[in-house]
Structure 1
């Protein structure tokens, strides 16, 4: 276990436990997503935020393995041969959509799709999985944004990404399935994500893990 991913929030930590042999990689992907979130949250000038995201892009895609050396998270991902993460360009574009003028659709389709690609470990994923990622990202944003109006708009938009029927989840994508169904339950009821996992959410996680939804 890499120390850089030991302080994950409860939800990504629990989801990673369902990744089997890929748990260590999942934890690092979630740790990277949390780093992007902190970067955006602490950015007041759009140009500075864009420059910081560009640095991460350059370091995570450096084929020579030189850029970013000494950054524990990047070093840990290199040790696992997990660089560059799949979906990185979309992932970063999604986070950039929160800097400056807010673009909820760009954020959802960027962060959600990019993150789900990184977790799945493949660049090409079916459109329904892209939509699942977008819905999850909007649900997650609704629980962290200080503006209740924006949080409400995120949940409203998330409804448009929810599938009406069952989806062909595979065992490999079980962590993503659990994340999606956890979010879907709140989205369908028009509820924001909680600031932290409630007992009801823990129970739902167990139920989804056992029964798939």
Structure 2
């Protein structure tokens, strides 16, 4: 088993980040819950082919123009009711999670999960390269706190350094939640420190500080 995930659909940190999404809070919560579902799928997959089939099912259900596939799945039903599908970056996002099934490919995981997730949260396919890079750094940081192989966790943090933004981009107001997520990760990455497995008091206080000061 590679990944340790929480049992709830929405991690406390994801819930807090969603609160900074303004009018998009409901959509952000559903996207984070979907990301947690993908994480649990990967964590409970022992056969790569089975895992790929399960991810393909989610892709087919979430891209079904007729809204038939996946009916009865509460998360998909909620996303359809909110009008949150189709999802930007879904294919990239799923490819990233697939990169953890079997032989782990951290590069593909970072670009896929991080870039796809941040694209989905932004709600746009035409996001700048730096936002994909920020998402990759965040994803590697997050993985470092949830994978039970400490060697891979260390490699993830080392790789995350390569994805840190070298310049200070202008984050649009509507991407405030993404900015906060990235800067939370950036703090630990700079220190060479893995992410905490849960929402610690220190992480919570850092989130509040980043939300108030922007860094």
Category of TM-score, reference length = shorter chain: over 0.9
Cα distance, 1:170 vs. partner? Answer: 0.9
The residue that corresponds to 1:210 in the other structure is 212
TM-score (norm 1): 0.96
The residue that corresponds to 2:200 in the other structure is 198
The residue that corresponds to 1:168 in the other structure is 170
Cα distance, 1:165 vs. partner? Answer: 2.5
Q: Which structure's relative contact order is higher, taking Cα pairs within 8 Å and 6+ residues apart?
A: 2
* Aligned match for 1:83, one of 82, 85, 96: 85
Alpha-carbon distance between aligned partners in 2 of 1:27 and 1:38, rounded to the nearest angstrom: 17
Write out per-residue CA displacement over residues 2-25 of structure 1, whole angstroms, 9 at most, x where no aligned residue. xxxx85111100000001111000
Alpha-carbon distance between aligned partners in 1 of 2:201 and 2:38, rounded to the nearest angstrom: 28
* Aligned match for 2:12, one of 7, 10, 24: 10
Alpha-carbon distance between aligned partners in 2 of 1:132 and 1:110, rounded to the nearest angstrom: 12
The 3-state SS of whatever aligns with 1:210 is helix
Alpha-carbon distance between aligned partners in 2 of 1:134 and 1:181, rounded to the nearest angstrom: 13
Write out per-residue CA displacement over residues 39-72 of structure 1, whole angstroms, 9 at most, x where no aligned residue. 0000000000000000000000000000000000
The residue that corresponds to 2:5 in the other structure is none
The residue that corresponds to 2:155 in the other structure is 153
The residue that corresponds to 1:3 in the other structure is none
Write out per-residue CA displacement over residues 97-148 of structure 1, whole angstroms, 9 at most, x where no aligned residue. 0001110000000000000011001111000000000000000000000000
Alpha-carbon contact 2:99-2:108 (below 8 Å) kept? yes
The residue that corresponds to 1:70 in the other structure is 72
The residue that corresponds to 1:47 in the other structure is 49
Alpha-carbon distance between aligned partners in 2 of 1:7 and 1:97, rounded to the nearest angstrom: 21
Unaligned runs of 5+ in 1: 1-5
- The answer on 1:143 being equivalent to 2:145 is yes
Q: Any runs of at least 4 consecutive aligned residues in structure 1 with deviations exceeding 6 A, and if so which?
A: none
Alpha-carbon contact 2:144-2:195 (below 8 Å) kept? yes
Cα distance, 1:211 vs. partner? Answer: 1.1
Unaligned runs of 5+ in 2: 1-7
The residue that corresponds to 1:60 in the other structure is 62
**Paired residue total:** 208
Cα distance, 1:175 vs. partner? Answer: 0.3
- The answer on 1:19 being equivalent to 2:31 is no
